Chains A and B, each alone.
Chain A
């Protein structure tokens, strides 16, 4: 119930391509779904987040798509750049102040 399942584990994309990472959850009490970007030796940095009352949110090259009935959400990175090469984590939480549950992460490599 507390798990967030993330796929793929790793992803290689050509520069300029679209990177897509998927996540699924079970707990319908989750109402906050962020994506974090992590570079080696650094802490996770919030990239973009969505709540279940919207189906899509876009910030620059990053878009979250959210399917409440399927309990799935995904991150799309448009025009992927070598600087986007990092580990991406999806996560979910209930109300403010509760545990943020992370997926296992996706290592993205963007080749130039």
Chain B
């Protein structure tokens, strides 16, 4: 079964540092997403990406966040200057022409 692959599985970073989280969506999917889940809380939408541009973003997705599809397979989330409150699980997801969203296993980001 096709999978969404995320790397790394766990990243520890110093406050104020930049991090890049990486994802390989399912190859024939058209839409790509990033979600965040703070420990024990619900999964929150950050951003959706289609046709090489952001199609929708939430209030959480402020100027410190950016997304990019640098080549035909990778999809990245960059956090420019990390804060303690950015510590969370970050999930990448992708979907095709229907609504079937497939999630990756996540990257646990710990900001110290």
How many of A's residues come within 8 Å of B, CB to CB?
A: 24
A100 CB contacts on chain B under 8 angstroms:
33, 35, 45, 93, 101
Using a CB-CB cutoff of 8 Å, which residues 1-32 of chain B contact chain A? Answer: 4, 30-31
Tell me the complex Cα distance, A100–B31, Å.
12
Considering the chains assembled together, what is the distance between the CA atoms of A48 and B55 in angstroms? Answer: 26
Residue of B nearest to A103 (CB): B42
Binds B, one of A38-46, A58-66, A71-79: A38-46
Contact check, A97 vs B42: say whether CB atoms are below 8 A apart.
no
Is B74 positioned at the interface, with any CB of A under 8 Å from its CB?
Answer: no
Q: Which of B55-110 contact A (CB under 8 A)?
A: 55-56, 58, 91, 93, 95-106
Contact A44 B50 (CB under 8 A): no
B112 to chain A: which residues have CB within 8 Å? none
Given contacts A97-B30, A97-B50, A99-B56, contact A43 B103 (CB under 8 A): yes
CB–CB B48/A93 < 8 A:
no
- A–B pairs, 17, beta carbons within 8 Å: A32-B99, A34-B99, A42-B105, A43-B4, A43-B91, A43-B103, A49-B99, A89-B43, A91-B43, A93-B99, A95-B99, A96-B96, A97-B31, A97-B55, A97-B95, A98-B55, A100-B45
